[in-house]
A and B are shown apart, each in its own frame.
Chain A
């Protein structure tokens, strides 16, 4: 039951995040979504990810959004969408339905494993490549942002603090 509540909460927040006109409010709803996702991952037995999702997804990224929106300014003039909305909704529902059907057919009855073995460390021993990739990724991201912000004369250096 608690899963249903959280799930509905996530979806409502997500919908509000994309439907709100004001970007700052969007970012706030996104943060709330992130927090609820973190709660759900915690309940599913992944506390590490929950903590990281909470601090990065709900914390850091939201701060970034607020900075960016502050610099770029609210641009709330409503723009007509280029794709007809029924087409968008229809294709998404089609894709989602097909995916759901496939998953249910493949997995049959869905069961959770009993959560017993929670305290063991993440298997870094087998995932050197991931670690390396993450380092490269972070490095290139930092370089990219520095490069981007170095060119803009009007940009305050706020984003580099993060």
Chain B
């Protein structure tokens, strides 16, 4: 086993994003949706760092990754607050209960 490190990280990133996407496709639980988004974004952060490392622009990559983390945290906060509200309003966390806007 003598894989190059970037390849290992790259596969990790892709699999992480894939797992997150799979969860987004399958789950019907709102809180799970937020968890899946978190997983995908963690993959994105790793990707930024890896790219920065490979091109030698690590500082730029770090500042970008920071922006992503901040945005992602806000998404988590607002998403969870929404989920809580929906649970209180409709009594369930099922995303199917959200399509009532459609005729």
Complex CA gap A109/B8 in Å reads: 13
Q: How far is the CB of A60 from chain B (nearest CB, A)?
A: 7
* Dominant secondary structure of chain A at its interface with chain B: helix
Q: Inside 8 A of A15's CB, which chain B residues have their CB?
A: 19
Tell whether A122 pairs with B62 under 8 Å between CB atoms, given A4-B8, A100-B10: yes
Q: Which residues of A contact B (CB under 8 A)?
A: 1, 3-4, 6-7, 10-11, 14-15, 17-18, 23, 26-27, 30, 33-34, 37, 40-41, 44-46, 48-49, 52-53, 56-57, 60-61, 64-65, 67-69, 71-73, 75, 79, 81-83, 85, 88-89, 92-93, 95-96, 99-100, 103, 107, 109-113, 115, 117-118, 120-124, 127, 130, 133-134, 137-138, 140-141, 144-145, 148-149, 151-152, 154-155, 159, 162
A/B interface sample: 23 pairs, CB < 8 A:
A4-B8, A7-B9, A11-B12, A17-B35, A18-B32, A18-B39, A33-B39, A41-B49, A45-B58, A48-B66, A53-B45, A61-B73, A68-B31, A69-B31, A72-B84, A83-B25, A96-B14, A96-B17, A100-B10, A111-B6, A112-B53, A134-B66, A138-B70
